[in-house]
């Protein structure tokens, strides 16, 4: 598994000078919020401050700073593909597709700002957002690199968890879709071969008792159940519905499958109507009739992110086990 923090570390360790481009002020409508940042090297970028002409201008200014004379009068060496003035060939393509889609919010810093841009997002630069963005640009030294990594680690530690039970066609498609989002994805399977080919940023878990992953999940997790076995689905869903602090519990299937689960859940699993009412099934709803795995995954990913956002604003009652842990701590 390759996390976004690992990708950040690899970028910083890639050799050569790196500039930090950070949004330090915003007015009106802007592409990104204050604190959003990107890193710029002579040949690549990491992250985004919103794209468009705003980002292209910031990249050019950052590269001018990168190639400015070093202490002692020596100029930094320009990598192949970067022309005089600090503009990289095909820089607009690079800026439009930042690696990993990584973004984070940094703690405020007031030291060693080397350059600033104050850019109106209007017709002057070919954008129509209507707002205004202030951007600071500075070279990344060892101390700042450590600060960036620490901030990224803190942000990653707070990411909501999405547990996908089942590595079949829809499970693979959903894992690939959700892996692009600011969440921690865990695919749980009882079959080793079903975990092959998962995206590098997805964590996998092979276990004969997948329901145990539900019990040990953190508060605010999302559970998506789509295994190869309906009986196993029912067991996992029943465990997930007991988690009152879950942000989302979804099960793939038809109306008949949902009705069969309801009967079993109420009669044999000691479940309640209130708990059953929290089940989302089928995942993704009925608005889109296309049943291809990739389509189901796209719609379900949006549904999951909506539920996670709503839970972050108004979290549910804590799970009894979580409450006991907090009291013990």
Which domains does the chain carry? 16-156 (no CATH), 159-318 (3.40.50.720)
> pTM of this prediction?
0.78
Determine the 3-state secondary structure of 203 from DSSP: strand
Task: Report how far residue 287's alpha carbon sits from residue 239's, in angstroms, rounded to the nearest whole number.
Answer: 28
Residue 86 reports pLDDT greater than 90? no
CA distance 111 to 139: 11
Nearest CA among 100, 15, 107, 119 for reference residue 59: 119
Range in 3-17, 165-179, 296-310 with the lowest mean pLDDT: 3-17
Angle at which helices 230-241 and 255-268 cross, to 10°: 60
Ranking 66-80, 253-267, 291-305 by mean pLDDT, the lowest is 66-80
Q: Calculate mean pLDDT across residues 119-124.
A: 74
Look up residue 56 and give its two tokens. Answer: 């292209």
Buried b (16+ CB within 10 A) or exposed e, 2-20: ebbbbbbbebbeeeebbbb
What are the tens digits of pLDDT across the range 171-227?
999 999 999 999 999 999 999 999 999 999 999 999 999 999 999 999 999 999 999
Give 316's pLDDT tier (boundaries 50, 70, 90).
low
- Chain segment 254-291, per-residue pLDDT in tens: 999 999 999 999 999 999 999 999 999 999 988 888 99
């Amino acid at each position: 598994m390759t996390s976004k923090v690992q990708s950040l570390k690899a970028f910083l360790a890639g050799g050569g000078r790196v500039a930090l481009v950070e949004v330090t002020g915003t007015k009106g409508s802007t592409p990104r919020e204050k604190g959003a940042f990107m890193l710029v090297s002579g040949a690549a970028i990491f992250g985004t401050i919103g794209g468009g002409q705003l980002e292209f201008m910031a990249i050019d200014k950052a590269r001018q700073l990168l190639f400015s004379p070093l202490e002692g009068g020596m100029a930094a060496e320009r990598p192949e593909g970067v022309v005089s003035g600090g503009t990289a060939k095909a820089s607009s393509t690079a800026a439009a597709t930042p690696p990993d889609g990584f973004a984070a919010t940094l703690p405020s810093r007031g030291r060693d700002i080397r350059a600033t841009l104050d850019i109106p997002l209007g017709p002057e630069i070919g954008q129509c957002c209507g707002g205004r963005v202030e951007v600071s640009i500075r070279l990344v030294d060892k101390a700042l690199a450590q600060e960036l990594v620490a901030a990224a680690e803190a942000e990653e530690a707070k990411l909501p968890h999405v547990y996908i039970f089942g590595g079949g066609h829809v499970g693979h498609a959903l894992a690939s879709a959700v892996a692009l989002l600011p969440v921690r994805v865990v695919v749980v399977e009882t079959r080793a071969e079903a975990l092959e080919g998962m995206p590098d940023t997805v964590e996998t878990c092979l276990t004969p008792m997948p329901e145990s992953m539900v019990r040990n999940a953190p508060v605010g997790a999302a559970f998506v159940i789509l295994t190869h076995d309906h009986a196993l689905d029912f067991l996992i869903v029943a465990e997930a519905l007991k988690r009152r602090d879950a942000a989302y519990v979804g099960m793939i299937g038809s109306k008949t499958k949902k009705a069969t689960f309801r009967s079993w859940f109420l009669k044999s699993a000691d479940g309640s109507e209130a708990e059953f009412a929290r089940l989302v099934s089928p995942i993704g709803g009925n608005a889109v009739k296309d049943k291809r795995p990739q389509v189901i995954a796209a719609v379900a990913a949006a549904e999951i992110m909506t539920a996670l956002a709503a839970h972050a604003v108004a979290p549910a009652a804590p799970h009894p086990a979580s409450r006991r842990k907090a009291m013990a701590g």
